[in-house]
Amino acid sequence: MKDDVTGEPLIQRSDDNVEALTKRLGVFHVQTSPVVDYYKRKGLWHGIDAAQSPPVVWDNLRKVFTQQQGKQPRPEPPNTSKK
């Protein structure tokens, strides 16, 4: 299997398998759930779907910040274009 862009051969790590991924995801959820729950209880947690396009994600983040600060900041989104 080769990289679509560079054509270089792809290498699979020894821990890049279903069992390892399942374990890593389990650990992630165990460790982050208490943090998420804490901030939800404080009313400070806001879910953002980061699978959307960068401008949509940025707009959603700005809405959260605007709600928290009571004013509408107009920062520029990060430059996501490739050079």
- Contact of 46 with 64, CB cutoff 8 Å: yes
Separation of alpha carbons 10 and 4, rounded Å: 10
The mean of the pLDDT values for the chain is 86
In this prediction, residue 82 carries a pLDDT of: 62
Residue 2's DSSP bridge partners are 9
Q: How far is residue 30 from each of residues 33, 43, 47, 79, measured CA to CA in Å? A: 6, 21, 18, 34
More confident call, 76 vs 52: 52
pTM of the model: 0.55
- pLDDT recorded at residue 50: 94
The pLDDT value recorded for residue 62 is 93
Domain coordinates of the chain in residue numbers? Answer: 1-43, 47-74
pLDDT reading at 80 higher than 70: no
**pLDDT > 70 in the chain, percent:** 84
For residue range 27-44, list pLDDT tens digits in order: 999 999 999 999 999 888
Beta-bridged to residue 9, according to DSSP, are 2
